[in-house]
A and B are shown apart, each in its own frame.
Chain A
Amino acid sequence: MPLVKGGKIVEDSFVKLDVDAPLPAAGDILVPGDRFLKDAAALLARPGKVGVIWPNNRDIDELVPYLGKLAAVALVFPTFRDGRAYSQSRLLRERHDYRGELRATGQVLRDQFVFMLRAGFDSFEVKKQADAEAFTQTVKRYSVFYQPTGDGRITALHRRMQLRHSEGVGT
Chain B
Amino acid sequence: MYAYDEIDRTLVNERVSEFRDQVKRRLSGELTEDEFKILRLQNGVYLQLHAYMFRVAIPYGTLSSEQLRRLAHIARRYDRGYGHFTTRQNIQFNWIKLAELPDALADLAEVGIHAMQTSGNNMRNVTSDQWAGVAPGEIEDPRIWSELLRQHTTLHPEFSFLPRKFKIAITASDHDRAAIKIHDIGLRLVKNEKGETGFEVLVGGGLGRTPFIAKTIKHFVHGRDILSYVEAILRVYNQYGRRDNIYKARIKILVHELGIEKFSREVEDEWQHIRNSSLQIDDSVIEDIRSRFTYPAYEKLPHMPDELRQAAADPEFEAWRKNSVAPHKVQGYSIVTISLKPTGGPPGDATAEQMDALADLAEKYSFGEIRVGHEQNLALPHVAKRDLPALWKALDKLGLATPNVNLITDIIACPGLDYCSLANARSIPIAQELTRRFANHELANLIGRLHINISGCINACGHHHVGHIGILGVEKNGEEVYQITIGGRADESAALGTLIGPGVKFDEVADVIEDVVEAYLALRERPEELFIDTVKRLGVEPFKERVYATR
Q: Which residues of A contact B (CB under 8 A)?
A: 80-84, 86-88, 90, 95, 109, 111, 114-116, 118-119, 130, 141-149, 155-157, 159-161, 164, 170
Query: Given A86-B161, A111-B39, do A160 and B151 touch, yes or no (CB 8 Å)?
Result: no
B7 touches A115 (CB 8 A): no
B148-166 vs A, CB cutoff 8 Å, 1 = contact: the mask equals 0001101111111110000
Of B5, B8, B14, B239, the contact of A141 (CB 8 Å cutoff): B14
Query: A residues within 8 A CB of B235?
Result: 87
Closest to B239 in A: A87
Of A114, A145, A170, the contact of B288 (CB 8 Å cutoff): A170
Of B17, B35, B273, B279, the contact of A148 (CB 8 Å cutoff): B279
Query: A residues within 8 A CB of B14?
Result: 141-144
Closest to A155 in B: B278
Query: A residues within 8 A CB of B276?
Result: none
Query: B residues within 8 A CB of A141?
Result: 14, 17-18
B157 touches A143 (CB 8 A): no
Query: A residues within 8 A CB of B159?
Result: 83, 86
Closest chain-B Cβ to A89's Cβ sits at a distance in Å of 9
Which chain B residues in 1-50 approach chain A with CB under 8 Å?
A: 5, 7-8, 10-11, 14, 17-18, 22, 30, 35, 38-39
Would you give 27 A-B contacts (Cβ < 8 Å), ordered by A?
A: A80-B35, A80-B161, A83-B160, A86-B160, A87-B239, A95-B273, A114-B157, A115-B157, A116-B157, A119-B157, A143-B14, A144-B7, A144-B10, A144-B11, A145-B155, A146-B11, A146-B154, A148-B278, A149-B158, A156-B8, A156-B11, A157-B151, A160-B5, A160-B7, A161-B284, A161-B285, A161-B288
Of A82, A87, A118, A143, the contact of B10 (CB 8 Å cutoff): A143
A147 touches B160 (CB 8 A): no
Query: B residues within 8 A CB of A118?
Result: 157
Q: Complex Cα distance A86/B342, Å? A: 47
A86 touches B11 (CB 8 A): no
Of A87, A146, A164, the contact of B158 (CB 8 Å cutoff): A87
B302-330 vs A, CB cutoff 8 Å, 1 = contact: the mask equals 00000000000000000000000000000
Known contacts A115-B155, A141-B14; can you find 4 more A-B pairs with CB under 8 A? A83-B158, A84-B238, A88-B239, A115-B158
Query: A residues within 8 A CB of B8?
Result: 144, 156
Closest to B243 in A: A82
B288 touches A148 (CB 8 A): no
Q: Complex Cα distance A95/B271, Å? A: 12
Closest to A88 in B: B239
B154 touches A87 (CB 8 A): no
Verify if B127 is at the interface (C-beta below 8 Å from A): no
Verify if B121 is at the interface (C-beta below 8 Å from A): yes
A160 touches B38 (CB 8 A): no
Closest to B277 in A: A148
B157 touches A86 (CB 8 A): yes
Q: Which residues of B contact A (CB under 8 A)?
A: 5, 7-8, 10-11, 14, 17-18, 22, 30, 35, 38-39, 121, 151-152, 154-162, 235, 238-239, 243, 273, 277-279, 281, 284-285, 287-288, 291
Query: A residues within 8 A CB of B273?
Result: 95
Q: Complex Cα distance A142/B15, Å? A: 8
Closest to B22 in A: A111
B35 touches A86 (CB 8 A): no
A170 touches B238 (CB 8 A): no
Q: Complex Cα distance A90/B155, Å? A: 16
A149 touches B157 (CB 8 A): yes
Q: Complex Cα distance A57/B155, Å? A: 23
Q: Complex Cα distance A118/B162, Å? A: 16
Q: Complex Cα distance A154/B152, Å? A: 13
Query: A residues within 8 A CB of B287?
Result: 170
A156 touches B38 (CB 8 A): no
Query: B residues within 8 A CB of A114?
Result: 155, 157
B30 touches A159 (CB 8 A): no
Closest chain-A Cβ to B492's Cβ sits at a distance in Å of 31
Query: B residues within 8 A CB of A159?
Result: 7
The 7 closest A-B pairs by CB, nearest first: A83-B161, A118-B157, A148-B278, A144-B11, A146-B151, A86-B158, A115-B157
Query: A residues within 8 A CB of B158?
Result: 83, 86-87, 90, 115, 119, 149
Query: Given A86-B238, A87-B239, do A147 and B157 touch, yes or no (CB 8 Å)?
Result: yes
Closest to A165 in B: B284
Closest chain-B Cβ to A19's Cβ sits at a distance in Å of 23
Q: Complex Cα distance A113/B162, Å? A: 17
Query: A residues within 8 A CB of B39?
Result: 111
Q: Complex Cα distance A82/B288, Å? A: 35
Q: Complex Cα distance A80/B121, Å? A: 12
Query: A residues within 8 A CB of B35?
Result: 80, 109
Of A80, A81, A146, the contact of B155 (CB 8 Å cutoff): A146
Query: A residues within 8 A CB of B278?
Result: 148, 155
B121 touches A81 (CB 8 A): yes
Closest to B7 in A: A156
Closest chain-A Cβ to B421's Cβ sits at a distance in Å of 19
Query: B residues within 8 A CB of A119?
Result: 157-158
Q: Complex Cα distance A146/B123, Å? A: 14
A170 touches B10 (CB 8 A): no
Count chain B CB atoms within 10 A of each CB in A82, A86, A114, A142 and give the residue with the most. Answer: A86
Closest chain-B Cβ to A66's Cβ sits at a distance in Å of 20
Query: B residues within 8 A CB of A155?
Result: 278
Closest chain-A Cβ to B403's Cβ sits at a distance in Å of 42
Q: Complex Cα distance A90/B238, Å? A: 12
Query: A residues within 8 A CB of B10?
Result: 143-144
Q: Complex Cα distance A35/B1, Å? A: 57
A142 touches B11 (CB 8 A): yes
